[in-house]
Structure 1
Amino acid sequence: MFHRIRRRAAEPSELQRRSYETYRRMAGQVPPEVERTRATQQPAEPISTADDFLPPDLRVPSHDQLDGRMMPWTQPIVLDGAVVACAGCGAYRDWLILSTRDQIWLRCRQGHQQQEMRLDTAWYNRHAGPADAHHETFEDCLRHLGH
C-alpha cells in the first residue's frame, strides 16, 4: 500500500504538467504593450556627467589627515562626581579640550596641559560641534580660540 503512495508522489500531477507546458510556451514571449512602448521611444540622449566633488578650497580634511582637534569648554568638567582642576594652577573652568592620537588633553588659560584618562575620543566626538576653521599650527589654533 505505501509503495503505491510513493510511486504516485514521484510522478508530477496533471496540474503541474499543464503549468509547465504553459510556462514553456510563454518563455520567449514579450507582452504587446512592451513592444509598442519600445517602438514609440526615441533613443535617449547621453547624460552629461558633472563633477559632484566639492572644489578643493571647500573640502574638509578627514580625521586621519589632522594632527588633532580642539574645542573650548567654558563650564567645569565633572568626572566621577568630582570637578576636574588644573594640576598647575587649580583652575576648574575655561578649558581647551584637545583630542589627538586617541588621547584627550585639557589645557587651562595659563597654558598648563594635563592628560585626562577618564575621557576618550568617543566622548569628544559626542560633545564637539562642527569645526569652524582649520589651522596649520597649534599656535594659530590657540590664537583663534582666544588662548
Structure 2
Amino acid sequence: MFHRIRRRAAQPSEMQRQHYEAFARLEGRVPPEVERMRAEMQSAEPTTVVDDFLPPELRVPSHDQLDGRVMPWAQPIVLDGEIVACTGCGAYRDWVIISTRDQVWLRCRQGHQQHEARLDTAWYNRHSRPADATHATFEDCLRHIGH
C-alpha cells in the first residue's frame, strides 16, 4: 500500500502540472502598470542629491570623541547602605560626578577627587541627562556647571 502512495507522489499531480503550464505562459510577460511606471521614471527629471545630515554646528560628538562627561549631583550618594563621603574633607553632598575611561570619579566642592569603584558607566548613563554643552578643558566644564 505504501509503495502505491510513493509512486503516486513521484509523478506531478494534474493540479501541479496546470500550475507549471500557467507559470510558463506568464514567465516572460510584464504587467502594463510596470511598463508605465518605468516610462515615467525615465522621463522624469533627475533629482538633486542633498546631504540630509545635520550641519556641523548642530552635531553632537559621540562618546568616543569625548575625554569624559561630567554632571552635578546635589544630594548625598548612598551605596550599599552607607553615605559616600569625601576622603579629603568629609563632605557628603554637592558632588561633581565624572565619567571617563569606563570609570566614575567623585569630586567635592573643595576639589578632592576619588575613584568610586561601586559606580560604573552604566550607572552614570542611567542617571545623567543629555549634554547641553561641550568644553575644551575640564576647568571650563566645572565653571559651566557652577563649581
Residue in structure 2 matched with residue 14 of structure 1 by the alignment: 14
Q: In the alignment, residue 72 of structure 1 is paired with which amino acid? A: P
Residue in structure 2 matched with residue 141 of structure 1 by the alignment: 141
Deviation larger for 1-10 or 53-62 = 1-10
Residue in structure 1 matched with residue 72 of structure 2 by the alignment: 72
Q: In the alignment, residue 101 of structure 1 is paired with which amino acid? A: R
Match status 1:41 vs 2:40: yes
Structure 1-normalised TM-score?
Answer: 0.88
CA distance, structure 1, for counterparts of residue 134 and residue 27 of structure 2: 63
Q: 3-state SS of the aligned residue for 2:72?
A: strand
Q: In the alignment, residue 28 of structure 1 is paired with which amino acid? A: G
Give the gaps of 5 or more residues in structure 2: none
Within-5 A mapping of 1:104-119: 104-119=104-119
Within-5 A mapping of 1:26-105: 26-35=26-35, 37-38=36-37, 41=40, 43-105=43-105
Deviation larger for 55-64 or 111-120 = 55-64
Q: In the alignment, residue 65 of structure 2 is paired with which amino acid? A: Q
CA distance, structure 2, for counterparts of residue 65 and residue 31 of structure 1: 53
The ranges of structure 1 where at least 4 consecutive aligned residues each deviate by more than 6 angstroms after the TM superposition are none
**Identical pairs, percent:** 75
Residue in structure 2 matched with residue 132 of structure 1 by the alignment: 132
Give the gaps of 5 or more residues in structure 1: none
CA distance, structure 2, for counterparts of residue 114 and residue 19 of structure 1: 77
Q: In the alignment, residue 142 of structure 2 is paired with which amino acid? A: L
Q: In the alignment, residue 97 of structure 1 is paired with which amino acid? A: I
**Aligned positions, number:** 146
- After superposition, the C-alpha distances for 1:41-65 in whole angstroms (9 at most, x for unaligned) are 3622211121222222222211111
CA distance, structure 2, for counterparts of residue 65 and residue 113 of structure 1: 23
CA distance, structure 2, for counterparts of residue 2 and residue 131 of structure 1: 73
Q: In the alignment, residue 133 of structure 2 is paired with which amino acid? A: A
